[in-house]
Every structure is written in C-alpha cells, then in structure tokens.
Amino acid sequence: MSKRGNNIRKRADGRWEGRYYIADKAGSKKCKSVYAHSYKEVTERLLTAKAASLNQTAAAKKSVITIKEVAEKWLESIATSRKLSTIQKYSAIYNKYIKPNWGESIVDELNQNEILKELPETAGESVTKSIFCIFNSILAYGAATYGTGEIHLSYRAKRSSVTSLNNINTINTTDQQKLTEYLLTELDIYKLGILLCLFMGLRLGEICALKWEDIDMTGRTLHVNRTVQRLPVDTVYTSGSSQNSNTSTRKTSLYIDSPKTSNSLREIPIPDFIYDKLSDYYNTSMKGDSYFLKKNQPMDPRTYQNKFHIYIREAGIRNTHFHALRHTFATNCISSGADAKSVSEILGHSNVNITLNRYVHPNLETKRSAINSIVIP
C-alpha cells in the first residue's frame, strides 16, 4: 500500500485512509480513521477530525471549579503576606462586585466579553480598576492552582476618567498662605502636625503614627517607619498590632503597621523653619517611645481629619480633603524646580511616573512661568 505523509495511506480498495488517536476516559490511546477517495480530501478530513478531537479532550479536561471557590482560596493564600487594609479592600471589592455576578460561574465557562458587559457602570474609575485587578488575580490563581483556562481582562480607562484623576484638589497659593498663618498663630502640636504634612508630604496615617524617636534633630531628618488605620476587626489577620477597639455597631480598631509600600519607609530632610518649630516641642515633650501627636498611643486618623476640617474652616479657606496637603507639597516642589526623582523618594512613591501623573497639578501661573522662560533665539 502506498503511503503519503504521517498516518495517511492508500488502501487496496482504492480509498485513502487517515489515522489519528484520541484518549479515552482511562487515559489510553485509541486509534480512529477517516476515509476519502483522494489524498487531498483525506488530508482535510484528518485535520478536521484531529481538531474536533482536541476540542473534545479540552472540554473533558475543563475544571468545574467556580469563581467563588477560587476567590476564597486566593484570599486565604494572601492573608498573611498582605497588609490588613489591602486584604479588606480585596474582600470588599470581591463581595460587592465579583461574587454577586460571577461567584457561582464555572471559571472555564467564563466569557471575557460577557464579563465586561456585566461590570457596574456606576462604579468610579478607581473601583473599576480594582475590580479588574482583583478579578485577574483570582483568574491567575485559578490557572496556576487548578489548571483552569487562562483569562486576562483588559481594561482601558475612559479619557474623561483619566482627566478626572488629575483634577484632585490642591490648595492654591492664597489659601496656603492663609492656612500657614492660621496654623502658626497659637501653634500647638496638632497644628504642627498639619505643617509637617503640608511641607514634608506625610500621609494622614503616617503623621498619626509618628513617634518622637523617628525625628533625628541632630541629622535634621524625619524617618517614616509606620502608619495607622482604623479598620473593621471582622477580617482574619495574623500580623500587625491593634489598639483602642471601638464598640460601635460595626466594630473597628486602630491597626499599626508598616507604611503603604516598602518605598514608603523613607528618610525626609526637615525644612529649616519646621526644624525651628520642632525644637520648641522637642525640648519639652516626652521622648523615646512616645507618639508625636499623643503620648501613649497613635492619634485616630478620623479625629485628626476632623481637626483639619476645623482648621481650614477657621482659616477661612475652601473645603478640601486631608490628602490635598500631600498633593500640594508635590506640586510646590516641582513648581519650585525640584527634581522629580527627589520628590518621588520624599513622597515614598515606587516610581517617578506616579509622582508626576497623579500628584503634580501645575496651576496657570506655573504654566505661564514656563512659557515666559523660553529664551528668544
């Protein structure tokens, strides 16, 4: 019998036969054949049969595990390696958006287009990005742990949403002057803390967890070593420490932990006029293990936020959020000619792009100055 190609032969009866193998449920190979009256025809039938066989095998191997099962195992797997606030954020996003829509769905039966259609339109840009990030992490964990199909959701932010991210409030120059003058009038430790945030870029949780031992008056530097957050206590968590439990309807506690990222562990030079103000308190305050704002425990971030809003109201400036102090600091540094790398490290960012794209908001005067700096050839 004449043969052409792999597993194709011409039979004695004149027909062409193409052979291929499939695996049965026990894993054993079984030979199958297709027949035709020409070599070309049998080749086409053989390719079609092989493709159908592969599809059937893949379908047979598909996992029946659900998104809910994968997600819960994934959350357990990262519980001891991520910060408490991160775990709670992931759990909240999963329980509110992913579980209700796809929790009972079989992972291998998910369709990316259908997932994209079901994503909530009312969710903000930040929440939507978090949904994509967490969903992709769950799917990647399923693929690596259970051999489920590899699906990756691609997301492109709407242009209007990208623009809105860059419109976060900063405090304008006039209001900065009013606020600074107000804080320096009858200065106390709480007002001094606000000045540290405005002129050194500290986060709310970082100033609330700051200790006097973190301030090196000899080297004129401040070390950011920890942060504090008030979080629900109903999440299982094994690292970090908690203080000051709240007995309200939703039980919460203050959690002291390392800063937001490894880059957030940083050393910041103290501005000269801030150093002078710190010196007055450094000579009279408790040192050692005492906190900057409260001696025996960290300041509750919610309490300090409330103080901040009282201050800006009494200073007669427009209402803004506490984090605007940090954005204002970044913008002032860049507008004053500081190099972006230094500003990024002072803020504790992982890269310069975060600093420039999210935290720097040049005003009209800064842009005008840039235009007028062009030298006429």
- b/e code 357-366 from CB counts within 10 Å (16+ = b): eebbbeeeeb
Residue 118 has pLDDT above 80, yes or no: no
pLDDT tier at 370 (50, 70, 90 boundaries)? low
Q: How far apart are CA 120 and CA 190, in angstroms?
A: 41
- Give the residue-averaged pLDDT of 214-221: 94
pLDDT tier at 27 (50, 70, 90 boundaries)? low
Q: What percent of the chain has pLDDT over 70?
A: 80
Q: How far apart are CA 336 and CA 102, in angstroms?
A: 50
pLDDT at position 236: 42
Could you list the beta-strand ranges (E) of the chain.
8-10, 16-23, 29-36, 215-216, 221-224, 227-232, 241-246, 252-257, 266-269
Task: Domain 67-165: state its class.
Answer: mainly alpha
Claim: this prediction has a pTM higher than 0.75:
no
- Comparing CA positions, the residue from 149, 140, 130 lying closest to residue 74 is 140
Residue 90 has pLDDT above 80, yes or no: yes
Q: How far apart are CA 277 and CA 272, in angstroms?
A: 9
pLDDT tier at 235 (50, 70, 90 boundaries)? very low
Could you tell me the two tokens for 353?
Answer: 């792009």
CB-CB contact of 22 with 44 (8 Å):
no
The CATH number given to 173-229+262-372 is 1.10.443.10
Q: 281: Cβ–Cβ under 8 A, 6 or more apart, which residues?
A: 189, 192
**Does 67-165 match 173-229+262-372 in CATH topology?**
no
pLDDT tens for each residue of 144-177:
888 887 777 776 655 444 444 444 578 999 999 9
Domain range list for the chain: 8-52, 67-165, 173-229+262-372
pLDDT tens for each residue of 339-367:
999 999 999 998 888 888 888 887 767 67
pLDDT tier at 248 (50, 70, 90 boundaries)? very low
pLDDT at position 10: 87
